[in-house]
Chain A
Amino acid sequence: MTTPQAPSPGDGAQRGQGHGHGQAGDDPEERIPGLARERTSLAWTRTAISFAALGGVVLRANVVTGLIILALAPVIWQLGRMTRGGAPKASDRLPAVPVVGATRLFAIAIAITAVALLCLVVAIFGRSVPGALR
């Protein structure tokens, strides 16, 4: 198994020339593109877990709403998998340019807004469990 090599100090500038941008940073983690993709993938996973956690909380107040939000978690996770493409290879210096994926991010924003509105309805009209945290 080959260990990814940190690029030499000039690599970032050379890569940036074709894009009209500067270096991504001097931190080796920032300079290895495969890791950027992996971190983004992990961020999607954390977001999906956040949805699941919210679903768990809502489940206590309203079962149907909670289940709807819980069902969104795997959908979000699948949306995140679309970012990954293939598994990054050690030889990847610059990955294929990812699809901007505005639709995926738009879907997340809409989902959170819809979930917040649902929670607003549950908060105002739902049956509360006062003292559950006492």
Chain B
Amino acid sequence: MSWSSRLASLLPGAVARDTGGTEPDPRFTFANERTFLAWSRTALALVVAGLGIVQLLPPFPGVPAGRHLLGVPLIALGAVLAVVAYAEWVRNQHALRRGEPMPKSNMPWILAAAITGMAIVSAIVLLISAVR
């Protein structure tokens, strides 16, 4: 499946036209929706954290771009997470309708890797600013 057709399958109209399988148990549908909302709140929290770092923290001595180095990737990650969360919701709903196994999610891996990376960058920025 090409990228354009994949993207097209994510549009609400295409999702609503998905009549394959049967309507799943409403509890599963609700649970899928709550999972999407939880990821959305995580994305918003990342945006708040990024903006807080850039706008509210004092500058790091010796690292003039330190705040932007930490904050901007967090905000960008929040934007990516929101889109990926929606794509995951569509995939999960597709699997639920057909009684298929739930597709493997990459989101926990993405989040864990991003947090680890940001922690390492934060430590480096703090060490540099402490030395100078």
Binding site for B on A (CB under 8 A): 15-16, 19-21, 24, 30, 33, 36-37, 39-40, 43-44, 46-47, 50-51, 53-54, 57-58, 60-61, 83, 94-98, 100-103, 105-106, 108-109, 112-113, 115-117, 119-120, 122-124, 126, 128-134
B27–A19 contact, CB under 8 A?
no
A102 CB contact (under 8 Å) in B43, B54, B90: B90
**Alpha-carbon distance between A46 and B72 when the two chains are bound, in angstroms:** 25
A44-B37, A102-B16, A112-B78 are known; give 11 further A-B pairs, CB within 8 A: A20-B99, A24-B28, A24-B31, A43-B37, A57-B48, A60-B56, A101-B33, A102-B15, A102-B90, A112-B44, A116-B47
Binding site for A on B (CB under 8 A): 10-12, 15-16, 21-31, 33-34, 36-38, 40-41, 43-45, 47-48, 50-52, 54-59, 67-68, 71-72, 75-76, 78-79, 82-83, 85-86, 89-90, 93, 96, 99
**How many pairs, one residue from A and one from B, have CB atoms within 8 Å of each other in the complex?**
165
